[in-house]
Amino acid sequence: MEFSESVKLARTESGLEYFEVNSPLCQAKIFLQGAQLTEFIPTGKTDLMWVSADEDYQEGKSVRGGVPICWPWFGTHENPDWPAHGVARKVVWRAEKVIETAEAIRISLSLPMMMIDEAYWSHESKLEVEFVLSDAVEIRLTNTNLGKEPFSLTQALHTYLPTPDIKSTKVDGLQGAKFIEFGEGPFNQDSIVEFARETDMVYTQAGPVQTIHTPDGIIEVSRENSASCVLWNPWIEKSKRLSNFQNEEYLTMLCLEAANVLEDIATVEPGQSHTLMTKIRWV
């Protein structure tokens, strides 16, 4: 099925449907399951997304890589029996519209709320995500409150980014923020971040733009309506415990995730919307 001149619906061997984008601007793949971007290659550049070589694209299982959507909570819920990172990653989203112009391709999907157990999310609301694809990728996750009471949630765009060598990679732009790591803190981030161990930093009071300096070039990650972000690399021991993740792949990836967590929790009043946005590009 074709949605525009450059966008069609394709299917993996395992049966998962995805938007396949081949345009003068870029190539991309966006899976309907989880509304998950797994490939974004601006014309003349290399892929801005990282996906594990062990990924097998199975129904009901979030893809290890790309941009999983963590919603309506990030991380481990206070109820330990509930799924980590919420319930949006494994649900098949509804394709809403595809708009192609000379400047960008816009692909919008919505989460069918009837698919979400009310035990996890009982509020009257709408959740939509829009991908704006050009020489950069912009992801806009919008919660709209359709009920009569405010609701609050935590969320993240769990972005996996590539590097040829994590030990030669640095993250600039987090100086001045505070972070919690492994349940301890907050600590002050005083310098550029380098990687020499497992990293799982949850930042607050973070500036709106960070740059990731890799041997292959500089990746810029910017955010709107987000004063928090997460920086993650599993390093050696945790890599051995992760599903769909090769033991040495920690050397070739990192996550820098736009988020609304900790004191940056998102509260949406009746009739209002909140849009978490991240934009990623090669500098």
Active centre residues (catalytic): 158, 257
Strand-pairing partners, residue 37, are 30, 67
Strand pairing category for 193-194 and 170-172: antiparallel
**C-alpha separations of 18 from 9, 85, 218 in Å:** 6, 22, 28
Peptide bond into 24 cis (omega under 30): no
Whether the Cβ atoms of residue 201 and residue 180 lie closer than 8 Å to each other: yes
Structure tokens at 50: 């990282």
Q: Nearest-CA neighbor of 129 among 109, 143, 149? A: 109
Strand pairing category for 94-100 and 105-110: antiparallel
In whole angstroms, what is the distance from residue 93 CA to residue 109 CA? 6
Residues in Cβ contact with 184 at an 8 Å cutoff, skipping those fewer than 6 apart:
none
